[in-house]
Amino acid sequence: MNLKNSLNNLQFDNRFIQQLPADLETKNYCRTVLEASYSYVLPKKTNQPKLVSYAKEVAQLLGLDVKECETPLFTQVFTGNKLLEGMQPYACCYGGHQFGNWAGQLGDGRAINLGELLTNKGEHYTLQLKGAGITPYSRRADGLAVLRSSIREYLCSEAMYHLGVPTTRALSLALTGDSVVRDMFYDGRPQEEQGAIVCRVAPSFTRFGSFQIYTTQGNIPLLKKFVDVTIRHDFPHLGSPCKQTYLTWFTEVCQKTALMIVHWQRVGFVHGVMNTDNMSILGLTIDYGPYGWLDDYNPNWTPNTTDAGESRYRFGNQPQMAYWNLVQLANAIYPLIEDVELLQQALKVYTDSFEQQWNKMMINKLGLAIYDPKTDEGLINDLLRVLQLVETDMTIFYRNLALLNIDQPNLEQLSDEVLLKPLIEAYYQPNKLTSEFKQQIGNWIRLYIKRVRQAEISDNERRLRMNAINPRYVFRNYLAQLAIDKAESGDFSMVEALLALFRHPYDEQMDKAYYAEKRPDWAKTRAGCSMLSCSS
């Protein structure tokens, strides 16, 4: 079996468009699309496309010979200028609740699916260009993407993957050679920026809003057809679609979503726009827009300026928002199940599995194996309280907590000051650590020592476990901005350096310690580093 195909050898099996109804209008203008799941549309030709970067792991996943990524054909295909045999580009129709309100038809406004690649292993992957021009779903926008947001999507998708967080992937990042006008903060200061295209890859890009659209249109036959196709393609292990399968399917979506959110909370990722059109049916992190990473542990933080007022999608609210979104999905599929109680039971699976997995994740972050509610509820709650008393870098805190020498007898009898020492690097303003604070963290550390001793875990074992779940390197907001600043002036070295760094986020990497440092002061209030808008 040849696992390394050339571009021209890739096989496409476009099941989605074969099995779902197409929009009969084939002209490309913005409109409401009814009775259809997608519209045929061609990517816009780009002027002077230039490949910036590609992810070799994604090429390998697709069974594409990595050498092919360096060819002119690759650049042409993944900037929309050429189609490979078997590609049939289309944009999907979907709706969504945006910030709690039903927004009607949204759809792929600037994403064009090239086709479903069928790998030699029999797996399907949809290849999608983001920023490839207008589609019937572009509403009043231009269908394009700028370099800064494309770098953010490209690097974050891959960083998340290597961190072990379920996510869509990114094959390539290219400049189009065309300029795009954006008013970054919607304050009347539009600027020309460089256009770019990311090729995203996922088994499917179906969203909660892909189902909601049919129910709100009153098109239950198409809703049923869409659910059936989703189950056959994306959940084949569930068997033939029927009422019972619909429930099992929804339950699995609840579980997958819970797992994704647990991972977000584990690494400090804040999505920023958890609208139902940005929720993947496969529980993948999707649509990297104004997301951010926690520097200091602050459950109230949101990176998205559009959400600054209510902070609906703040870090600490993500679990509740995912639940809210699942309720909307339950409402959408209700006509196929017609039993509120059964849907509520499935929703409870979300709450239960989230709680169970979150407890396990938190206890693993502390290097412990088994969650014991008697001791651990208090231990975890107290830690999360203490982490908020002063500005504490979340990533550094957990990494450095592993350094405590708990094997050392009588460690707990040492002073607060001494116990705190391994953690000092995590504090943004070490000179502001009052004796009252030191006492609080000291007491928590003593509680922790007691718990570790009770579990009889050696420092060695604890460190190994902690360093496998607490990353050393995350995609800090300011790192993204530094890479963008350089790239905008034509230097893509930092994009490549970060891509390489994030391949091994849990490993100590020689000479890369500066990438693990806490956010510098200048980045605290700079646009792009702590504040992002949806304008991309």
Binding site residues, ligand AMP, CB under 6 A: 106-110, 137-138, 141-144, 273, 277-278, 287, 289, 534
536 belongs to the binding site for Mg ion (CB under 5 A):
no
416 belongs to the binding site for Mg ion (CB under 5 A):
no
Q: Give CA–CA dist 308/258, Å, rounded.
A: 25
528: tokens are 């792009």
Question: How many C-beta neighbours within 10 Å does residue 527 have?
Answer: 12
Q: Give CA–CA dist 59/326, Å, rounded.
A: 33
163 phi/psi in degrees, rounded to 5: -80, -10
For the bound state, the minimum distance from the C-beta of residue 493 to Mg ion, rounded and expressed in Å, comes to 30
For the bound state, the minimum distance from the C-beta of residue 246 to Mg ion, rounded and expressed in Å, comes to 25
Q: Which burial class, exposed, middle or buried, applies to 435 when counting CB atoms under 10 A from its CB (0-12, 13-18, 19+)? A: exposed
287 belongs to the binding site for Mg ion (CB under 5 A):
yes
**Helix, strand, or coil (residue 64):** strand
Select from 142-150, 260-268, 282-290, 479-487 the region that touches Mg ion (CB under 5 A): 282-290
User: Are 411 and 449 in contact, with CB atoms under 8 Å apart?
Assistant: yes
Q: Which is nearer to ligand AMP, 52 or 106 (CB)?
A: 106
Q: Which of 277, 287, 296, 307 is catalytic?
A: 277
Indicate which of ligand AMP, Mg ion, none lies near residue 142 (CB less than 5 to 8 Å, by partner kind). Answer: ligand AMP
Q: Could you tell me which of 394, 514, 513, 503 has the C-alpha nearest to residue 163? A: 503
Q: Which is nearer to ligand AMP, 158 or 287 (CB)?
A: 287
269 phi/psi in degrees, rounded to 5: -95, 135
For the bound state, the minimum distance from the C-beta of residue 133 to ligand AMP, rounded and expressed in Å, comes to 9
217 belongs to the binding site for Mg ion (CB under 5 A):
no
Nearest residue to ligand AMP by CB is 109
Indicate which of ligand AMP, Mg ion, none lies near residue 387 (CB less than 5 to 8 Å, by partner kind). Answer: none
For the bound state, the minimum distance from the C-beta of residue 209 to Mg ion, rounded and expressed in Å, comes to 9
Indicate which of Mg ion, ligand AMP, none lies near residue 144 (CB less than 5 to 8 Å, by partner kind). Answer: ligand AMP
Q: Which is nearer to Mg ion, 252 or 287 (CB)?
A: 287
What 8-state DSSP symbol labels residue 285? B
Q: Give CA–CA dist 123/10, Å, rounded.
A: 12
For the bound state, the minimum distance from the C-beta of residue 110 to ligand AMP, rounded and expressed in Å, comes to 4
Q: Give CA–CA dist 322/464, Å, rounded.
A: 31
285 belongs to the binding site for Mg ion (CB under 5 A):
no
What 8-state DSSP symbol labels residue 511? T
For the bound state, the minimum distance from the C-beta of residue 200 to Mg ion, rounded and expressed in Å, comes to 11
What 8-state DSSP symbol labels residue 57? H
Indicate which of Mg ion, ligand AMP, none lies near residue 109 (CB less than 5 to 8 Å, by partner kind). Answer: ligand AMP
Indicate which of ligand AMP, Mg ion, none lies near residue 108 (CB less than 5 to 8 Å, by partner kind). Answer: ligand AMP
Indicate which of Mg ion, ligand AMP, none lies near residue 114 (CB less than 5 to 8 Å, by partner kind). Answer: none
User: Are 150 and 130 in contact, with CB atoms under 8 Å apart?
Assistant: yes
Q: Give CA–CA dist 212/217, Å, rounded.
A: 9
Q: What is the DSSP string of 200-260?
A: EEES---BHHHHHHHHHTT-HHHHHHHHHHHHHHH-GGG-S-SHHHHHHHHHHHHHHHHHH
Helices within 96-170 (DSSP H only): 147-163
For the bound state, the minimum distance from the C-beta of residue 474 to Mg ion, rounded and expressed in Å, comes to 23
Q: Which is nearer to ligand AMP, 109 or 164 (CB)?
A: 109
**Helix, strand, or coil (residue 377):** helix
Dihedral angle over CA of 448, 454, 456, 460, nearest 10: 0
For residues 261 to 280, the per-residue mask of contacts with Mg ion, x marking binding by CB under 5 A and - elsewhere, is -----------------x--
Indicate which of Mg ion, ligand AMP, none lies near residue 273 (CB less than 5 to 8 Å, by partner kind). Answer: ligand AMP
- The yes-or-no answer on residue 352 being catalytic is no
Q: Which is nearer to Mg ion, 30 or 455 (CB)?
A: 30
**Helix, strand, or coil (residue 514):** helix
Indicate which of Mg ion, ligand AMP, none lies near residue 57 (CB less than 5 to 8 Å, by partner kind). Answer: none
For the bound state, the minimum distance from the C-beta of residue 46 to ligand AMP, rounded and expressed in Å, comes to 15
Residues near Mg ion (CB under 5 A): 278, 287
Catalytic positions are 277
